[in-house]
Amino acid sequence: MTVTRQPFEAATPDDKLTYVGTSPPRIDGLDKVSGAARYVDDLDFGPDLLFAAVVETPHAHAIIKRIDTSRAEALPGVVKVVTGADFPFGFGLYMKDRYVFAQDRVRFVGEQVAAVVARDEGTAKRAVKLVDVEYEVLEPVFDPVFAASEDAPLLHPELKNYPHVPWFFPHNDTNIAHWRKTRKGDVEAAFAEADLVFEDTYTVPRYAHCAIEPHAVVSLYDRAGRLTMWSASQSPYTQRHVIAEALEPLGLTHQQIRVITPYVGGGFGGKAGVSMEIMGAALATAVQGHPVKLRFSREQEFYNTYQRQGLEARIKIGVTNDGTLTAIEHTMHWDAGAYVEYGANVVNAAGLSATGPYRVPNVKIDSLCIYTNLPPGGPYRGFGYSEFNFGLESHIDRIAHQLGMDPVEFRRKNAIVEGDTLSYGEKMNPSGLLECIDKVADAINWGTGEMSGDPNKVVGKGVALMWKAPAMPPNASSSSFLKFNEDGSINVTVSGMELGQGYLTVMAQIVGEVLAVPPEKIRVETPDTDRNPYEWQTVASHVTWGCGQAVEAAAIEAREKIFEVVHRVHGYEEDSLFLSKEAVRCTTDPDFELPLRDFVIAGIETADGSYRGGPIVGSGMFMPEFTSAKSDPETSQGGHPNVHYTVGAAGVVLEIDRQTGKMHVLRTALAVDAGKAINPDLVRGQIVGGLVQGLATVLYEDMRYDDNGRLLNPNFTDYKIPTSLDIPDEIIPIIVEVPQPDGPFGARGVGEHTMIPAAPMIANAVEDAVGVRIKSMPVTAEKVALSLWEGEN
């Protein structure tokens, strides 16, 4: 693979910034390449450590009639066996529809009904097989469209009793857990006046996160009644909050729960919120004084943690003969699985933004979150945008062809720009979408045909746009502390998570820019809820923007304290002071230089031998106070649910073997408007990683269930993810910078966005190459070959 670096001119001239806009080595790099980095499973808890294993149901839908734990309890080495009767506590982030262990019924294959705690892992796993559970099997429901109908069995009769956030709108006595409706203009009138109205359906299956590190948690409920958890989590504070609410009947409060999160080996949304961790917390309370480890296998990672939700999308678009979009009707039935406590917010986010990055005056979006008897759906990189974008960008391409327009020009004509009205009534933020489109088109030589050297192979090109807003509650907040050390180095504490994206390094660069300290002299600590300040979660591609503002505020506060103490001792006006090269300097006295290390701890000595100042510390917080989730539930008008959108475009040059359907990516380019690339190499890394992950979902990954709802391929042998041999020959990462006015140095997040356009650009390239339109993911060689064969016979 070749990564081609495009010419890059920063939006802010380099001579005005020292560390922001550069690409220093990652501050966590040495830890990871040397093996010093420790993950949850690496931590040593001594001989008192106990091990847990989970009893899982083989049925997708059943009533629990009886649980007999006696044989398991009699096995030597077993310490404790628990069932749902021991922990009848509901939990959930946005809707409390789950329990620690199943209560009266199970709703997906693999759902936990009991657990064993034993002296060693082998004994725990053997004991699990001795727990006898009697079920009354019920009819399962797997199809979300049928599940939403009146004929479907009711999976959650208690839906009307579930507490939920005020921006969810469940339909009681149905399987519709939430229905987001967005309305703008008059869609029916616009369709009647359109020159072309085109409608079709697209389907997207479920996907697994496939983080290299499986879920793991060690929990200790000590003799003093404190619960400490070491977890692989994207959300330590949210985890603490959800668990404190759920276990309140046991007398636990937020103050009595501590969550420590070391390095995390990938997340992609799968380690956000709470899934298996609540079992670890509950089990620890049953064996007070002993740490308990619960570690999921690779198979459990597939079927007993969050999955990306499946989607059936019906899209209807109206357009005039000159290529102007006039109306869209987008109906999405989401397969949200057995529990939607997190996944319903994915559905909500999609329902607000399913126009894509286009200017459409008349909008009707229905986004339905539907219970099924498959594993719970939840957050996954892209948070619903990848799913709906497959159908939308496929549809856009097809409309352009029907109009006889170039697909790139059609997109340019309708691309949303600053000041355009969004589907829910707010205005679009500044963005470089048109620049992204143009640069991608240039990178793949759009409009120029390419030939394969093999007569059995053909080459096609495809493009797709993308956008995404951080899906956050209106009060999602960030905070940061920092302190200087005696040598002028700095420690920063935050509670965002380093997931491999380079977050710690970016925070160090922001602090370094404000305080004129090199990033390599700044240590950013991983979360500990007893020590580090609050962070909502590391999701939504918001931490550079949100936590970055908190970190910047903490650095500015420290800088102001520095200037204040220098003013008190030396008399220089504070507005004449500035920081450069780890020292305080003065515009009115070029000879003045006071190194930070000389006073940021010890203070500054005065003429009489006394000192002024003391240890310099800073704190900062940020909350997007302009947002609001309050809106009309029938139209979504009246609120301000999203802080901003990050936009971009991608293109691909795809080679296809006409005999086998096998595809090979010759070249792909993606341009993203980062606002300000605080670390350009990290942005390029996100582009490469996101594209490859997106290509995996469209070309390789394919979850298969049997008729009873059992996952058939919960392993990397049968669930294919790309290897180094499957990487595109050339990847062209392109950074565009149109500053976000409220971002740190103009930055906005890019982490999820880079996989969003991958699937539709492949589908569009397939049609360009061989004239076949694939409307369901994945777009596999088998589908292409069969479609070609059917077209020829």
Q: Specify whether the CB–CB gap between 734 and 439 falls below 8 A.
A: yes
Contacts with 753 (C-beta within 8 Å, 6 or more apart), sequence order: 382, 385, 466, 467, 468, 541, 646, 647, 648, 672, 690
Residues with Cβ within 8 Å of residue 541, at least 6 apart in sequence: 468, 470, 646, 749, 750, 751, 752, 753
Query: Where in the chain is CATH 3.90.1170.50?
Result: 45-138+227-235+243-252+261-291
- State how beta strands 593-595 and 583-586 pair: antiparallel
Cis peptide before 361 (omega within 30 of 0): no
**What whole-number distance in Å separates Cα of residue 66 and Cα of residue 87?**
16
φ, ψ dihedrals at 697, nearest 5°: -70, -30
Q: Phi then psi for 326, rounded to 5 degrees?
A: -115, -25
Within the chain, what is the greatest distance between any pair of CA atoms?
Answer: 99
Q: Which residues contact 502 (CB under 8 A, 6 or more apart)?
A: 26, 679, 682, 685
pLDDT score at 757: 98
Q: Residue length, the chain? A: 793
| Ranges of the chain with pLDDT below 50 | 10-13
Q: What is the pLDDT of residue 16?
A: 86
Q: What is the DSSP letter of 213?
A: S
CA–CA gap between residue 471 and residue 345 (Å, rounded):
8
Q: What are the start and end residues of each CATH 3.30.365.10 domain in the chain?
A: 29-37+477-622, 310-472+629-792
Phi, psi of 545 (to 5 degrees): -75, -50
* Cα–Cα distance, 790 to 430 (Å, whole number): 47
Q: How far apart are the first and last CA of the chain?
A: 38
Please state whether beta strands 522-525 and 611-612 pair in parallel, antiparallel, or not at all (unpaired): unpaired
CB 767 within 8 A of CB 773: yes
Domain boundaries 45-138+227-235+243-252+261-291, CATH class? alpha beta
* Torsion sign across C-alpha atoms 42, 752, 555, 24: positive
Q: At a CB cut-off of 8 Å and minimum separation 6, what does 42 contact?
A: 262
For residue 169, which of 425, 369, 429 has the smallest C-alpha distance?
Answer: 369
The token duo for 161 is: 């009793």
Spatial CB neighbours of 201, under 8 Å, sequence gap ≥ 6: 312, 313, 314, 315, 391, 775
pLDDT in tens, 207-237: 999 999 999 999 999 999 999 999 999 999 9
Give me 764's structure tokens: 């569009």
Rounded Cα–Cα distance for residues 691 and 440 (Å)? 14
Cα-to-chain-centroid distance, residue 157? 31
pLDDT score at 767 = 98
Q: Is 29-37+477-622 assigned to CATH 3.30.365.10?
A: yes
Contact in structure between 476 and 496 (CB atoms under 8 Å): no
User: Does CATH place domain 310-472+629-792 in 3.90.1300.10?
Assistant: no
Note the pTM of the prediction, 2 decimals. 0.97
pLDDT value at position 3? 77
51 touches 117 (CB < 8 A): yes
pLDDT of residue 477: 98
Q: Report angle CA 112, 118, 122 to the nearest 5 degrees.
A: 85
Give the DSSP letter of residue 700.
T
Which residue in the block uniquely carries the two structure tokens 């990847």? 731
Contact at 8 Å (CB) between 115 and 283? yes
176-184/362-371 β-pairing? antiparallel
DSSP characters over 294-343: EE--HHHHHHSS-BBPEEEEEEEEEE-TTS-EEEEEEEEEEEEES--TTH
Question: How much of the chain is in helix, strand and coil states, percent to nearest 5?
Answer: 30, 25, 45
3-class secondary structure, 97:
coil
Cis-peptide, bond into residue 680, ω within 30° of zero: no
Round to whole Å and give the CA distance between 495 and 481. 10
DSSP letters along 708-766, please? TS-BS--STTTS----GGGS-SEEEEEEE----TTSGGG----TTGGGTTHHHHHHHHH
Phi and psi dihedrals of 754, rounded to 5?
A: -75, -10
Q: Please name which of 327, 188, 267 lies closest in space to residue 496, comparing C-alpha atoms.
A: 267
The SS3 assignment for 151 reads: coil
Dig out the tokens for 437 from the structure.
């489109």
* Residue 703 to residue 209: CA distance in whole angstroms: 12
CA distance 630 to 627: 9
Of 760, 750, 764, 682, residue with least CA distance to 468: 750
Phi/psi at 671 (nearest 5 deg)?
Answer: -115, 130
Distance CA 272, CA 379 (A): 7
Residue type, 198: F
Dist CA 666 CA 684 (whole Å): 19
Q: What is the pLDDT of residue 528?
A: 98
